[in-house]
Amino acid sequence: MTKGHRIRSRRVRAFLRNRTAVVGAVVAILVAAIAVLAPVVSPHDPLEQDVYHRLAPPGGEHPLGTDDFGRDVLTRIIHGARVSLTVGVFSVLLAMGLGTFLGLAAGYFRGGVELVVMRVVDVLMAFPVLVMGLLVMAILGTGLGKLIVAIGVVLAPRFARLAYGAAVSVRETEFVDAARALGAGPWRILLRHILPNVFGEILVMGTLWTATAIRIEANLSFIGLGVSPPTPTWGNMIREGVNWIVVAPWLPVFPGLAILITVLAFNMVGDGLRDAVDPRLQT
């Protein structure tokens, strides 16, 4: 067994010993399964209108009630999971790829690349995440793909910072010198020698930012800048539900609960991963 394998299995064991993290992982997997199997597990069609049971309270045929069009709230929440998870996961993957690439390059090559990339990162970090998300969505317009790009662009500077720091600190170490002496090219050094050193941290950050990305998506949909109705998303269900808050408070409450549970699950996994990757940190 190599040293790398030993570290990895120690981290896996540390993660599995952490009860909170395991519960979070189970919930996150469950939500993902529900999203994938949405058409199979939901009791109704998300767009089917039951005009005789509009704004029906929770119970009976509609366990979580119906909205003002008589659509089943539970079904729409199940289908909404698809949008939330797709946006959460893919926007973070985009941010991770883009940010890590730019950060590593800036930290390794220094000079002009560093100057340009890190100044842009500084400027982008001067915007609150949500304000930046609003701005990018206003430019791109609404839609699933655009949401992913918008949130990905907003989060990328965070990953760039992390990768940059790692590249700067690792580039002067002996094993990088050794690799260079053996004739490895810069990209080989970056990908094979520097990236593995930060990959754990990037993964931790990716999980925690997935939780944030899901929250940003909900925020944007709530404002009306996300995926357009009638496609159900948790954010736009709350947006529509708020209009009926006095007569049918369950309309905004249940989709919000779905957001809370999912975001909480990802945060629990992220915390557990962080403790497993770096046991010195006290959280």
What residue ranges bind another protein (CB under 8 A)?
Answer: 119, 122-124, 126-131, 134-136, 138-139, 141, 211, 215, 218-219, 222-225, 238, 242, 245-246, 249, 252-253, 256, 259-260, 263-264, 267-268, 271, 281-283
Q: 151 and 226 in contact (C-beta within 8 Å)? A: no
Q: How far is the CB of 135 from another protein (least distance, A)?
A: 6
**Nearer of residues 99 and 133 to another protein, judged by Cβ:** 133
**Nearer of residues 110 and 119 to another protein, judged by Cβ:** 119
Q: How far is the CB of 132 from another protein (least distance, A)?
A: 9
**Nearer of residues 178 and 242 to another protein, judged by Cβ:** 242
The two tokens of residue 166 are 């790692």
User: Which has the closest alpha carbon to 45: 231, 235, 244?
Assistant: 231
| 34-42 contacts at long range (C-beta below 8 A, 24 or more positions apart) | 34/78, 34/81, 35/78, 35/81, 35/82, 35/84, 35/85, 35/86, 38/78, 38/79, 38/81, 38/82, 41/78, 42/72, 42/74, 42/75, 42/78, 42/79
**Nearer of residues 19 and 192 to another protein, judged by Cβ:** 19
d(CA 133, CA 118): 20
**Nearer of residues 179 and 223 to another protein, judged by Cβ:** 223
The two tokens of residue 153 are 């662009």
d(CA 212, CA 22): 20
Q: 85 and 35 in contact (C-beta within 8 Å)? A: yes
Q: How far is the CB of 142 from another protein (least distance, A)?
A: 11
Q: How far is the CB of 242 from another protein (least distance, A)?
A: 6
d(CA 132, CA 125): 9
Helices 73-109, 144-170: inter-axial angle, 10-degree rounding: 30
Q: How far is the CB of 87 from another protein (least distance, A)?
A: 14
**Nearer of residues 47 and 140 to another protein, judged by Cβ:** 140
Q: How far is the CB of 159 from another protein (least distance, A)?
A: 17
